[in-house]
Chains A and B, each alone.
Chain A
Amino acid sequence: NAGVTQTPKFQVLKTGQSMTLQCAQDMNHEYMSWYRQDPGMGLRLIHYSVGAGITDQGEVPNGYNVSRSTTEDFPLRLLSAAPSQTSVYFCASSAGTGSLETFGSGTRLTVV
């Protein structure tokens, strides 16, 4: 079982560039989420989705867009990258809201 797959593992962007972080899960989970991890701050929720076609904002949504066209995929888009978005990004999925989440292995993003 692949679980939650994130690509790429590493990425360097220039300020102002755009990119999409990919996330896919093969567990038929309804709930998917994106977190960012910064030193000393734990993981903070960016956006989440309770099912295909439904997305909502988390704690730190500014500068990020998401969509959920299928149950399996939940891409995170940075429209105009900023140095403040340098972080490690984790995608997670679970059977439903309030259920235990399985995490991907992360994408380390550096914006210069």
Chain B
Amino acid sequence: GQQLNQSPQSMFIQEGEDVSMNCTSSSIFNTWLWYKQDPGEGPVLLIALYKAGELTSNGRLTAQFGITRKDSFLNISASIPSDVGIYFCAGFPSSNTGKLIFGQGTTLQVKP
């Protein structure tokens, strides 16, 4: 089946550092999404990207839809302790009927 490869699998950083994670696929995607999951909760949408090359910010978060439509990245600037959680990329492939595909997740830990 279609897969999204997300990296890195985990990160342990110092408060104030910038963070970057990405997602790649062998298939073309129409939409890229980035979610954050806090412990014991469901994923919450952070950013949605709809066009190749699109760069979108949400506060300290910035995400881009790759030109090839096969990748996306998420950057978090000046990390704070509440950024801790699991970040998932997800997307709607161009080839299916709208089923959302998830990456494996990036676990972020921030040291105060």
Contacts and interface: CB of A to CB of B under 8 A. Distances in A.
Interface of A: 4, 33, 35, 40-45, 48, 58-59, 90, 92, 97-98, 100-106
B9 A59 contact: no
Given A41-B104, A98-B30, 7 more contacts: A33-B100, A45-B100, A58-B99, A102-B45, A105-B41, A106-B40, A106-B41
A32 to B, nearest CB: 12
B105 interface: yes
Contacts of A59: 1, 99
Given A42-B88, A59-B1, A98-B31, A103 B42 contact: yes
A3 to B, nearest CB: 10
Contacts of A104: 42
B58 interface: no
Given A48-B99, A59-B1, A103 B44 contact: yes
Interface of B: 1, 4, 6, 9, 30-31, 33, 40-45, 48, 88, 90, 92, 97-100, 102-105
Contacts, number: 49
State the majority secondary structure of interface residues on B.
loop
A100 B45 contact: yes
